[in-house]
């Protein structure tokens, strides 16, 4: 069996190419699901004993990216999962039942603390988009809001790399946005899923960059 590469082994773009892609006026930083249930020790995932350190390391990079892009006049977009009884589809309920968990429902319930943002929160002028499941474009105004601002490129960051970051990045590509996934500003609960998702995204629909390269590029 071939050994899993490390993130640093994957193809990442440098500042020379990135400077041709990133115009702050046409770039949005999309921060995915930085919410209590996903990244707080008090949330559902944290209470289940999952190691949240990779997510917290990624959050520190997200904060650096947000500050830098905002200073350059770029767009900051927060995505969050918000679920209710009526948004739990039959397909989701079936999946839980077939996995031996009948009656389980989606997390990040509306009007519960688990759906709140954690540490990184929207500020005045930021986009704040609620979604039901994984894809930030599905059933939301994200596409219209970005295009109304003249955005043609998205920097993807958040959790988890293999789920909502992955599906939103792919959907962004399908909606005709240039996609750059900031590898060290994303995290998954298992390294194999993080690396595997980055490999698949880089192969199919996105460029990879690290936070420092993005920051250096924005500084010019």
pLDDT digits (tens, 9 = 90+) for 11-64: 999 999 999 999 999 999 999 999 999 999 999 999 999 999 999 999 999 999
User: DSSP secondary structure string, 138-174?
Assistant: TTSSHHHHHHHTT--EEEEEEE-IIIIIHHHHHHHHH
Give the contacts of 130 (CB within 8 A, at least 6 positions apart): 79, 80, 81, 82, 140
Is residue 22 within 8 Å of 214, Cβ to Cβ? yes
**Bridge pairing between strands 207-209 and 178-187:** parallel
Q: Taking 70 as the threshold, does the pLDDT of residue 1 lie above it?
A: no
For residue 2, is pLDDT > 80? no
How far apart CA 90 and CA 59 sit, in angstroms, is 33
Q: pTM for the whole thing? A: 0.96
The better pLDDT of the pair 121, 87 is held by 121
- Give the neighbor-by-neighbor strand order of the sheet with 27-32: 127-131, 75-81, 27-32, 153-159, 178-187, 207-209
pLDDT for position 103: 81
**For residue 200, is pLDDT > 90?**
yes
Cα–Cα distance list, 172 to 64, 160, 169, 201, 212 (Å): 23, 16, 5, 12, 23
**Range in 61-70, 89-98, 197-206 with the lowest mean pLDDT:** 89-98
What percentage of the chain has pLDDT greater than the value 90? Answer: 91
Looking at residue 106, what is its pLDDT? Answer: 85
**Segment 163-181 mean pLDDT:** 98
Q: Which residues pair with 128 in a beta bridge?
A: 78
- Look at residue 112 in the predicted model and tell me its pLDDT: 95
Mean pLDDT on 167-177: 98
Domain borders along the chain are 12-36+58-79+119-219
Residues 102-118: pLDDT tens digits? 888 888 999 999 999 99
Residue 126 dihedral angles phi and psi, to the nearest 5°: -80, 150
Q: Verify cis geometry, omega within 30 degrees of 0, for the bond prior to 160.
A: yes
Residue 122 in contact with residue 116, Cβ under 8 Å? no
CATH class, range 12-36+58-79+119-219 = alpha beta
What beta strand segments (E) does 19-126 contain? Answer: 27-32, 75-81
């Amino acid at each position: 069996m071939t050994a899993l590469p490390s993130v640093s082994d994957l193809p990442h773009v440098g500042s020379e190419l990135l400077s041709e892609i990133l115009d702050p006026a046409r770039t949005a930083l999309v921060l995915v699901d930085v919410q209590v249930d996903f990244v707080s020790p008090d949330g559902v995932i944290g209470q289940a004993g999952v190691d949240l350190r990779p997510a917290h390391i990624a959050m520190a990079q997200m904060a650096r990216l947000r500050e830098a892009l905002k200073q350059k006049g770029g767009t900051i977009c927060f995505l969050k999962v918000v679920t209710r009884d009526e948004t739990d589809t039959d397909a989701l309920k079936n999946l839980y039942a077939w996995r031996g968990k009948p009656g389980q429902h989606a997390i990040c319930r509306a009007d519960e603390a688990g759906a709140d943002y954690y540490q990184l929160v929207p500020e005045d002028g930021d986009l704040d988009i609620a979604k039901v499941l994984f894809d930030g474009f599905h059933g939301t105004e994200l596409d219209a809001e970005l295009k109304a601002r003249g955005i043609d490129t998205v920097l993807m960051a958040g959790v988890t790399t293999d789920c909502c970051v992955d599906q939103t990045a792919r959907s962004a590509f399908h909606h005709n946005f240039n996609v750059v996934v900031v590898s060290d500003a994303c995290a998954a609960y298992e390294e194999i899923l993080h690396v595997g998702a980055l490999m698949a995204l880089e192969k199919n629909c996105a460029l990879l960059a690290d936070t420092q390269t993005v920051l250096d590029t924005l500084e010019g």
